[in-house]
Amino acid sequence: MAQQKIQQEHKEHETQEEHSTHSHLFYIAIGVVLLILTITTAAVAFINLGALNPVVALLIATFKAGLVVLFFMHVKGASEKLTGAVVVSGFFFLGLLLTLSLADYLTRSWK
Amino acid sequence: MHDSRLTSTASTQVLTADHAEHNPALLHHFADAKQQKNAASLGMWLFLVTEIMFFGGMFCAYLIYRIKYFNAFAAGSQQLDIKMGAFNTAVLIVSSVTVVLAVKAAEVGKRKLLVGYLVVTVLLGMTFLVVKGFEYKEKFEKHHVPGPTFNFTEKFDDNGRQIPVNPKEAELFFSIYFVMTGMHALHMIIGCGLFGTLAVLSWKGHYSPNYFTPIENAGLYWHLVDIIWIYLFPLLYLISRHS
């Protein structure tokens, strides 16, 4: 009974592992999307969107970074939940660093 | 001790039977190859988190001074070569694809293909560094390198309006530019060395579908360096480019 269950779990793990990698074509397609987004960022920078210019640039950059992290670095489909937690914590502390620092510098109205 | 061993005999037999026989890379203190791989991956990610925080400090300094001295940052940014920056972004993205294809080749045990992708990755990394070198050369020629010879007379072109900027503030932009791109370039040099070594080891047959963790982890490093550049390109090259 126990053996069967473990064997079954083992098989599930194996299929999960297969899911974490994709075909050549998929990776090349992601690469093409990233290249198109690079051209888009450069092109959008020349259009006057006012205060939205840096926002759009950063949104595109974050989308690109997301594609790389999820598909090239195989965070999507990773079997180890702890790895996901470490990745998220990294970006969480980066966010903390940036938001708290800016919350200070942007509110120094007395200077 | 003995009791627990007895009860877990059945499970360890199942878990290790199919790995222990044909995987000499499996270290004895891991239950199976998958656990060993996960542990290595977790360690690599912890290192990458320290890298994110390391570059994060510089991004934070960049943000604060960009807000404080926006005109100088825009004027400095307008002096950077957008074509070279975009070309280098493309080079890094293509290199990230070759890295992920290298990992895939390692996974299915295609040794020559693996070596090929690793070599192409190193060549792309070197292409990036050469282009970066030409950019630095131009900065030296224009006296845009911070230091005693720094000279900045360019104005901030704000929709055709020419706004003069304080050269000291522009010098700060170029200090941040050189520190951030310089640290990034250092990571690229380390990455090229890493992938060059992996190419040699792969050629010698050190890796098999049972064990290619170093290639996966070096890949994670390369992708992170790529991501940092994905942010550096718009933040440094594309400030107020519209007219």
Q: Is A107 a domain residue?
A: yes
Write down the pLDDT at residue B147.
Answer: 93
Structure tokens at B160: 């055709």
Q: Which residues of B touch A54 (CB under 8 A)?
A: 234, 239
Cα A79 from chain centroid? 17
Judging contacts by C-beta atoms under 8 Å, the chain B residues touching residue A13 are 34
Q: Which domain holds residue A106?
A: 78-111
pLDDT in tens, A16-30: 444 456 888 999 999
Task: Show residues of chain B in contact with A82, CB under 8 Å.
Answer: 38, 42
Answer yes or no: do A27 and A71 share one domain: yes
Is residue A14 predicted with pLDDT exceeding 80? Answer: no
Contact B38 A53 (CB under 8 A): no
Both tokens of residue A63? 């989308």
Same domain for A32 and A55: yes
Distance from CA of A46 to the nearest CA of B (A): 4
Residues B33-73: tens digit of each pLDDT: 888 888 888 999 999 999 999 999 999 999 999 999 999 99
- Partners of A73 on chain B (C-beta within 8 Å) are 219-220, 223-224
At residue B160 the predicted structure's pLDDT band, cuts being 50, 70 and 90, is confident
A103 shares its domain with A92:
yes
Rounded to an integer, what distance in angstroms lies between the CA atom of residue B55 and that of residue B57? 5
CA B208 – CA B35 distance, rounded (Å): 17
Show the tokens assigned to A77: 């489909």
Do A101 and B64 form a contact (C-beta atoms < 8 A)?
yes
Highest mean pLDDT among B6-20, B28-42, B160-174: B160-174
Interface-testing mutation among B35, B89, B117, B232, with chain A (most A C-beta atoms within 10 A): B89
A106 and A70 housed in the same domain? no
Hey, what are A69's tokens?
Answer: 């992290």
If asked whether residues A32 and A70 sit together in one domain, one would say: yes
What's the pLDDT score for residue A19?
A: 45
> Lowest-confidence range among A98-107, B117-126, B175-184, B197-206?
A98-107
Note whether A93 contacts B53, CB cutoff 8 Å: yes
Question: Do residues A68 and A85 share a domain?
Answer: no
Domain count, chain A: 2
Specify the long-range contacts of residues B79-85, CB closer than 8 Å, at least 24 apart.
B79/B142, B79/B144, B79/B154, B80/B135, B80/B177, B80/B236, B80/B237, B81/B135, B81/B138, B81/B237, B82/A42, B82/A45, B82/B237, B82/B238, B82/B241, B84/B131, B84/B134, B84/B135, B85/B135, B85/B233, B85/B236, B85/B237
Same domain, A39 and A71: yes
Q: What is the mean pLDDT of chain B?
A: 90
Which residues are CB-contacts of B21 (< 8 A; sequence separation ≥ 6)? none
Question: Are B96 and A34 inside 8 Å of each other by CB?
Answer: yes
Query: pLDDT tens digits, residue range B73-114?
Result: 999 999 999 999 999 999 999 999 999 999 999 999 999 999
Q: Is A27 within the bounds of a domain?
A: yes
Domains, chain B? 35-237 (1.20.120.80)
| A36-55 pLDDT per residue, tens | 999 999 999 999 888 899 99
Instruction: Nearest by CB to A73, from B63, B220, B240: name it.
Output: B220
pLDDT above 50 for A67:
yes
Q: Is there a single domain that holds both residue A49 and residue A33?
A: yes
- Of the two residues B3 and A51, the one the predictor is more confident about is A51
Tell me: do A41 and A68 sit in the same domain.
yes
Spell out which residues of chain B touch residue A47, defining contact as CB-CB under 8 Å: 242
Looking at residue B241, its amino acid is R
Q: Is the pLDDT of residue A9 over 60?
A: no
Residue A5 maps to a domain: no
Is A4 inside any structural domain? no
- Residue A83 binned pLDDT confidence (cut-offs 50, 70, 90): confident
Q: End-to-end distance of chain A based on CA atoms, in angstroms?
A: 73
Residue A35 and residue A66 in one domain: yes
Bridge partners for B158 per DSSP: B161
Interface test with A, best of B113, B242, B243 (most A CBs within 10 A): B242
